[in-house]
Amino acid sequence: MLILLLMIFSLAFGREYILKGELPESLKPFLKKRISERVYLLDLPEGTLIKQSSEFILEENVKLKALRIPNDVCFPYRWDLKAVGAPEAWDKTTGSGRVYVAIFDTGVDYEHPDLKDNLWRNPDEICYNGIDDDGNGYVDDCYGVNVLCYPNGYYDPNAPGCTRPDAYDDDGHGTLIAGIIGAVGNNGLLIPGVAWRVKIIPCKFLDSAGTGDLGGELACFEYIKRLQRDKGIKVVAINASYGGEYAFSNIQYEEIANFKGVYVTASGNSGENNDEIDFYPCNYGLDNEICVGAYDGNKKPAYFSNYGYYTVDIFAPGDHILGLYKGKYSNTCAGSLVSSSGTSLSVPFVTGAVALLYSLRSDLPPWEVKREILLTGENSESFDGKSYTCNLLNLNNLLLGESSQKMCLSTEELNFGTLNVGEERTLSFTVRSTGKKDLVITDVYVSDTAFRVVKEDCLRVALKPFEECTFQVSFKPRKSGTYFGTIYLYNSEGGVRSVKLYGEAINPENQTPAGVGETPSGGGGCNTGINFYTSALLLILLKRIFKRRA
């Protein structure tokens, strides 16, 4: 289904204008055609000055652009696809059946009507005859493989987790992932994926509880290596919607680094700062790896999403995502879709982006694909200190090759704590360039004179993509009280970013000296508020009173 949307490309499109109302005699020589009663198309020479009149309306003839909107009946409920600019991107490409992506997960429901046409089918295997027909070392791998069936290096149909020899989903997680990447689009069924057309190769190494181990992931890597070696299938991306806190693994690191495609993984769901914990595979930070965090329907960091200024590359939708589920299909959206949240669901948006980009530019190396995805994202100050780019995935920007200045700050605020009046404390923050254009900060403004910039290494310096610089800000209070300020950074394209500043000042002359008013014991922390001199005065008064009575 095609929907016409108004898109203004140029104020001088063909120098054509539309006039509605009475056509003045002075404009009749420029009449191109009469559209309808009292509506005319004019072709005016450049520089023509028209005096507006109450007798007509004159407007430029703007372009109308046909955008591809799928006829999938549940698409209107997918806020996430609109948030990443999918409808605009689909006007450029909807993907290609010649692009292959792998999903390492719990498998995929390859019988689902909204998925099956986009799932890779092994053409050399006879399904369920118990034989390795194509001699690739895997029995009945018709729709990917279940590596849980090979605990000892050979096929064991009775092994734990070996429900089927191929990658049928017995949990549901992998089917959700597959639907986001590549549910068949514009087929009149449920939802479209990011890529309407793509070939998905599932490898099941997670069991029905969603758990697996490194050995299983390595077995999945081996499977796609054999597909390339034996069948010439080039997998351009691996969707790895998993991770955990464990020690750095050289084996996993090297396996991902040696993969000739883009490895997309999740930041985690514990709301922690990955810069401060060992969360892998996200934290490897490889040139061909993208770690994805989750944002909510307001384009703010999801409360559960892990983050990291140095470790989490980009954010994508991950909160209340409606998706496909294993064995769940009916004639209604409510009966067919499930709502789920997590960074696992953010990852496939980026994997789908890789598939779309490769459908247009198949010659790109993985590191350049990563660079394009990161630098063309939608920049947001809400992610300062939480992301390497402070960018949100934007499919339309990606396919356009959008280029602008963007900045990502290491923090949203600087808190100087409590100082004595006249004392000074200096804190710093980092600015990173995260757009395709060099970032040039042209001006800095601080809203309160108690705060001042003491180091301006960033000012009027062209920062290339991913280059950094540092601002140092000092706080020197003039009098006691609470101070609030803001530092504003302006770039040469008119963009602005800000950091909130806080500080507290006290006057040491007005403070009670330490120890005054404290009881000698002090053990229980109780203070009577009566010192030695007060006690002596009370004793003298009492003596006088008793003396008078005597």
> How many helices (DSSP H) and strands (DSSP E) are in the chain?
10, 28
In this structure, which amino acid lies at residue 201? I
Say how far apart CA 545 and CA 550 lie, in whole Å. 9
- Give the CA distances from residue 453 to residues 174, 472, 492, 549, in Å, rounded to whole numbers and listed in that order: 50, 6, 19, 73
Burial class of 226 by CB neighbour count within 10 A (0 to 12, 13 to 18, 19+): middle
Quote the CA–CA distance of 284 and 257 in Å, as a whole number.
Answer: 9
- The encoded tokens of residue 421 equal 């009046």
Strand partners, 488: 445, 498
From 378, 377, 320, select the one nearest 345 (Cα to Cα).
320
Taking only the tens of pLDDT, the chain with its 550 residues reads: 333 233 333 333 457 899 999 999 888 989 999 999 899 999 988 767 677 778 889 888 877 766 678 999 999 999 999 999 999 999 999 999 999 999 999 999 999 999 999 999 999 999 999 999 999 999 999 999 999 999 999 999 999 999 999 999 999 999 999 999 999 999 999 999 999 999 999 999 999 999 999 999 999 999 999 999 999 999 999 999 999 999 999 999 999 999 999 999 999 999 999 999 999 999 999 999 999 999 999 999 999 999 999 999 999 999 999 999 999 999 899 999 999 999 999 999 999 999 999 999 999 999 999 999 999 999 999 999 999 999 999 999 999 999 999 999 999 999 999 999 999 999 999 999 999 999 999 999 999 999 999 987 899 999 999 999 999 999 999 999 999 999 999 999 999 999 999 999 998 876 544 333 333 333 333 333 334 333 444 444 444 444 444 4
Non-local (6+) Cβ contacts of 365 within 8 A are none
What are the extents of the domains in the chain? 2-67, 75-400, 407-508
Q: CATH second-level architecture of 75-400?
A: 3-Layer(aba) Sandwich (3.40)
Quick one: fold of 407-508? Immunoglobulin-like (2.60.40)
